Homo-oligomer: A and B are copies of this chain.
Amino acid sequence: MNIVISQGSEKPIYQQIYDQLSAQILNGSLQSGYMLPPIRQAAIALKVSVITVKKAWESLEREGLIHTTVGKGCFVADFEPKEIKRLRDEQIKRHLLHDLQHYLAMGIPFDELVEMIQSLKEDLCN
């Protein structure tokens, strides 16, 4: 488990954990069947409250990304490679639609927006 928490962030801690685990599951670095550490242990490792970790785990379970077995632990759900890509693209598309609408409302033409994105490639891929 590889998570970085920014204490002073605007984003709630539980959501930072959720976002990073969710991304790691969707990009394949956490594979199906992987067992997440027990919440108490994770809480100590991340230096946050148990409640906070619990909240992140719950969000992941609600989204179907992990499943919990009482007495055994939490495991990354079973996905076929195809399904995982579908899930990821679906989620990205949903957010993209929302974000892009915001930008277009500011009066920037669609094509100019795409150009701007292309121009950011260097900054992003480092």
Contacts and interface: CB of A to CB of B under 8 A. Distances in A.
A110 B125 contact: yes
Nearest to A67: B8
A99 B97 contact: no
B23 A106 contact: yes
A90 B101 CA distance: 17
7 contacts: A8-B67, A88-B108, A92-B106, A95-B102, A95-B103, A96-B120, A100-B120
Interface of A: 7-8, 12, 19-20, 22-23, 26-29, 62, 67, 69-70, 88-89, 91-93, 95-97, 99-108, 110, 113-114, 116-118, 120-121, 123-125
